[in-house]
Amino acid sequence: MARPVKEWIGDTDEQRAPPRVRLRVFDNEGGKCHICRQPIIGKKWALDHVIALINGGENRERNLKPVHVACHAEKTAADVAEKAKVAARRKAHLRIVDAPTMQGQPFQKSRKAARRQQAAANKLPIPQRTRPMFAPKEDST
C-alpha cells in the first residue's frame, strides 16, 4: 500500500509546481488531457488550473490537471473572457462608470511657445532648385 503524500500548495500564485508534483498530477489523470481526453504521451503539455487563478482558483495540487498546449490556450482565452464578463457585471452593479473624456478648448500656448511658432512661420522657405543637379548633357548636333 502506498504511503499518503501531502498535497502540494504553492506559496504564491506565481510559484510553479515542482517536477514531482507534475508527475503525480499526470499519473492521476492517466496521461490524458483533462479537456479533450486524448493521450498526452509524446506531445507538449502543461498544467492547467481547473478553476483559473484569475477567477478565484487556488494554486494547489488538487486544482491542477494536465492539458495539451493547444487546449490550454483555448481554455485560458475562455477564462479571461469569463473574468471580463464578471468584472463588467460587477462594475455595472456598483454603478461604476468610466471617467468622461474631457472636451473643449485646449490650453493656451505659453508666450515662449507662441513666439517660437511665429519665428518658424517667418523663416524664409528653402529655395527649390529649378533644374536637376545631374541633368544629362544636351546634344548640339
User: Which residue ranges make up each domain of the chain?
Assistant: 19-93
Ramachandran category for residue 128: left, alpha or beta (phi over 0 → left; psi -120 to 50 → alpha): beta
Q: What is the dihedral of CA 93, 95, 101, 105, to 10 degrees?
A: 160
Domain 19-93: CATH architecture, name and number where available: 3-Layer(aba) Sandwich (3.40)
* Positions in the chain short of pLDDT 70: 1-3, 126-141
pLDDT at 2: 65
